[in-house]
Amino acid sequence: MSRGTALSGARVLITGGTRGIGRLVAAGAVERGAEVTVWARNPELGAQVAEELGVTFIAVDVSDAAAVAEAARETGPIDVLVNNAGVIAGKPFVQLTEEEIRRTYEINALAPYWTTRAFLPGMIERNRGLVVSLASAAGLIGTTRMTDYSGTKHALVGFTEALRAELRAQRSAVRTLVVCPFYISTGMFDGVQTRVPWLLPILKPEDVATKTLDAIERGAAKLVLPWSVNLMPVMRVLPVPLFDAVIDLLGVNHTMDRFKGH
């Protein structure tokens, strides 16, 4: 395992850091001694978070590459980038509008490219830094009502893996971390359910935030929550009909039946 990143004294940037997991990670990073900057679109909520947590807030639409580049110049060099901003429509494929599909891909898949492109060159030059991507268990397995969301999270998992390979080939000390949690009990996933909570529990946001910060400090390259989600990719060795039968038995394709979201 590679050497971790001490958060004490580190400069940390978190996208989508005004609510949910992003806000909890920001609060936890501050408690561990980090200097935290939060990016989000809502200036009123951002000002509130800045006052309550003692972080710097910059209003920016991370789907806008030019706006990201400008905000990056204002932010300055950082040690840890946390690509956390995300959206979900939670609709069957045929009900998704073109606007919803584009928005999901712009925020979940493309925005991490723009933010990483803005900060990675400086990290490489200094030969230190960490790019964290908040993906999802949906980036390891596709489920119903998630054709857009799951597609973007698969993209984020692949992006992080390829970036890790590039940095390793360059013998760079800059690292990556991808986080793949099952559903989290935040407003974003209001209404989701699980058939087998002993195996696939709905996660508490505080636990996910804490474990993400722990993974940053210990130098992990991948964090999957809960442990059982690691079995999903392994099961792909099964014939497709058998794989599908196991997933159906676990009730995975009914987890979004009562989805409400924000």
| pLDDT per 10-residue tile (average), the chain, 262 residues | 86 97 98 98 97 98 98 98 97 97 98 98 98 97 95 98 98 98 94 95 98 98 96 92 94 91 71
Single-letter residue type at 243: F
Q: Which H or E element spans position 143?
A: none
d(CA 143, CA 150): 7
Q: What is the pTM of this model?
A: 0.96
The reported pLDDT for the residue numbered 261 is: 76
The reported pLDDT for the residue numbered 3 is: 81
Rg (CA), the chain: 18
The reported pLDDT for the residue numbered 262 is: 66
**Number of alpha carbons in the 13 Å side-chain half-sphere of residue 243:** 13
The reported pLDDT for the residue numbered 1 is: 45
The reported pLDDT for the residue numbered 233 is: 83
Q: How many CB atoms lie within 10 A of CB 168?
A: 13
The reported pLDDT for the residue numbered 72 is: 98
Residues belonging to the active site: 149
Beta-strand relationship, 11-15 and 80-83: parallel
